Amino acid sequence: MRSLILACLATSAAAAAAAPRYAVYFDQWHAAVLPNKSSTAGITHVITAFAQSSLFTTDPVTQYEPFLPLSDVRALFDKDTKVCMAIGGWGDTDGFSQGAATKESRKLFAKNIAATVQRLGYDCVDVDWEFPGGNGEDYKKNPNSNKTSEIQTYPLLLSEIKKAIDSVGCHELSIAVPALERDMIAYTAANVRKINGIVDVVNVMTYDLMNRRDNYTTHHTSLKGSLAAINTYIARGFKPSKLNLGFAFYAKWFTTADGVNCANTPVGCQTALLEAADGTDMGKSGAMTFEASTFAALPTGLVDSPDGSCGAGTNYKCPNDACCGQYGFCGTEVGHCGTGCQTGFGRCEGPSTKDSFKKALANSKYDAKNGGQWYWDADVNIFWTWDTPEIIARKFVDIVKVKGLGGVMAWSLGEDSYDWSHLLALQKNVKTLRPSH
């Protein structure tokens, strides 16, 4: 086993010196319209999302089946594209907490991942713990003060996972890491130095740089904000060649405070209260993808939802006067009926964010100082922030090349299906990268 692991080290060192990485997440919620093979050409890693972390805490392991058979996934990409299994994702922390807790639990968690990878034929593993040490979706219910031990146990867990997946054949290990410094709780300089010695790739989620916990507007994936995150991680000890710069195939929107004019203020404009004191969503902010369905006309012949799902990309409307929320579920809470509710698929009390988004795209502004595209819709008090092919190109020059990063990453493939312009921009710019050290 030891010599096998040494052999894996040699392989990954060779891989590091090879072509730049171009990774895309492929998530189960955005698989309705997929790109053709000329649009996916050049992608080196596709990361299927997500396997739940709790599957790996049981003995024996709970069986995971990806949302598409891996042979179908492989068929969409180049012959030698690596297919990785992402574990976790936003809101999925309990399984990781349990897996990291003790020496025995770490060994079991790692062994279960290795067995799953081997059974399904994955090439690599991506750990998406959002986030070790706290500030996840559950941060009000299970406070950070209950997670301090994770700062110690996180590198130990990664080390067990790496050992286990290399013992069943060489498999790259990547992690997805937050871009906001306030969320880098377990990414202390001491930890980053350790983790740098364990993982092969670090997918830096340089987006969501504004979220509903904020009270003032800022760009969610600006050039300046992305660079700051990269600089922080390099200063704390990640080797630049291990870092992938993250790109978002979606816009974000935030309701601004009543009576405040944000027409000239993309950064620092006061928002409405976006999150309640108990951590729940006020229904006043969200995400909008660049999917075909975002721009499609309301389908005709909608039927009552049989299972609570609804909205763009489905044929379902909400029965019983319920509202169809932005994330595609029927309900009667403010999160379903307020701003972001999907007009035509159910009752709606808030303004239509789809209409506002179209207005934003048609009238957008570029903030050259920060490197971000934005718009403030004065009619409905909504601030929009997103990335364009032009800004993507600038990020390659000013971040990926200047900092000598190992590659790029995007969330997520199916979210760009309207015209694939973000995907094609990545493809074009990846071709301008040289092999890294």
Site string for ligand NAG, 365-404 (x = CB under 6 A): ----------------------------------------
In the complex, the smallest distance separating the C-beta of residue 214 from ligand NAG, rounded to whole angstroms, is: 5
Q: Where are the beta strands (DSSP E) in 158-236?
A: 172-178, 201-205
Looking at residue 60, its amino acid is P
For ligand NAG, the binding residues in 204-223 under the rule CB under 6 A are: 213-215
Quick check: 142 binds ligand NAG (CB under 6 A)? yes
Quick check: 280 binds ligand NAG (CB under 6 A)? no
Quick check: 417 binds ligand NAG (CB under 6 A)? no
Quick check: 97 binds ligand NAG (CB under 6 A)? yes
CB contact set of 152 (below 8 Å; sequence gap of 6+): none
36-44, 128-136, 248-256, 407-415 -> range binding ligand NAG (CB under 6 A): 36-44
In the complex, the smallest distance separating the C-beta of residue 230 from ligand NAG, rounded to whole angstroms, is: 21
In the complex, the smallest distance separating the C-beta of residue 309 from ligand NAG, rounded to whole angstroms, is: 27
Query: Cα(406)–Cα(242) distance, rounded to whole angstroms?
Result: 6
Paired tokens of 128: 């998406």
Closer CB to ligand NAG, residue 172 or residue 416? 416
16 C-beta neighbours (distance < 10 Å), count: 18
Cα 14 to Cα 6, 159, 202, 207, 412: the distances in Å are: 13, 21, 17, 30, 28
- DSSP-derived secondary structure letter, 347: B
Phi/psi region, residue 345 (left: phi>0; alpha: psi -120 to 50; beta: rest), is alpha
- Tell me the torsion sign for CA atoms 122, 125, 126, 130: positive
Closer CB to ligand NAG, residue 34 or residue 70? 34
Interface residue with ligand NAG, options 11, 15, 34, 39 (CB under 6 A): 39
Which residue number is nearest to ligand NAG in terms of Cβ?
A: 142
In the complex, the smallest distance separating the C-beta of residue 217 from ligand NAG, rounded to whole angstroms, is: 12
Closer CB to ligand NAG, residue 97 or residue 206? 97
Closer CB to ligand NAG, residue 172 or residue 208? 208
Closer CB to ligand NAG, residue 78 or residue 214? 214
Site string for ligand NAG, 74-93 (x = CB under 6 A): --------------------
One DSSP character per residue, 228-276 reads: HHHHHHHHHT--GGGEEEEEESEEEEEEBPTT---TT-SSSPBBPP-B-
Size of the site for ligand NAG (CB under 6 A): 10
Query: Cα(434)–Cα(181) distance, rounded to whole angstroms?
Result: 29
Query: Cα(335)–Cα(281) distance, rounded to whole angstroms?
Result: 7
In the complex, the smallest distance separating the C-beta of residue 75 from ligand NAG, rounded to whole angstroms, is: 15
Judge whether 252 and 378 are in contact, CB under 8 Å. Answer: no
Closer CB to ligand NAG, residue 97 or residue 356? 97
Residue 120's SS3 state is helix
Cα 118 to Cα 125, 133, 258: the distances in Å are: 11, 30, 55
In the complex, the smallest distance separating the C-beta of residue 183 from ligand NAG, rounded to whole angstroms, is: 11
32-40, 173-181, 339-347, 406-414 -> range binding ligand NAG (CB under 6 A): 32-40
Query: Cα(263)–Cα(283) distance, rounded to whole angstroms?
Result: 22
- Please return the burial class of 368, using the count of CB atoms within 10 Å of its CB with bins 0-12, 13-18 and 19+: exposed
- Please return the burial class of 363, using the count of CB atoms within 10 Å of its CB with bins 0-12, 13-18 and 19+: exposed
In the complex, the smallest distance separating the C-beta of residue 218 from ligand NAG, rounded to whole angstroms, is: 10
Phi/psi region, residue 404 (left: phi>0; alpha: psi -120 to 50; beta: rest), is left
Interface residue with ligand NAG, options 1, 2, 3, 36 (CB under 6 A): 36
CB contact set of 80 (below 8 Å; sequence gap of 6+): none
Closer CB to ligand NAG, residue 39 or residue 188? 39
Site string for ligand NAG, 320-349 (x = CB under 6 A): ------------------------------
34-42, 122-130, 243-251, 324-332 -> range binding ligand NAG (CB under 6 A): 34-42
Give the residue from 182, 192, 288, 297 showing the smallest Cα distance to 235.
Answer: 192
Closer CB to ligand NAG, residue 33 or residue 168? 33
For ligand NAG, the binding residues in 179-208 under the rule CB under 6 A are: none
Closer CB to ligand NAG, residue 94 or residue 398? 94
Interface residue with ligand NAG, options 387, 420, 422, 425 (CB under 6 A): 420
In the complex, the smallest distance separating the C-beta of residue 364 from ligand NAG, rounded to whole angstroms, is: 22
Residues interacting with ligand NAG, by CB under 6 A?
A: 36, 38-39, 97, 142, 146, 213-215, 420
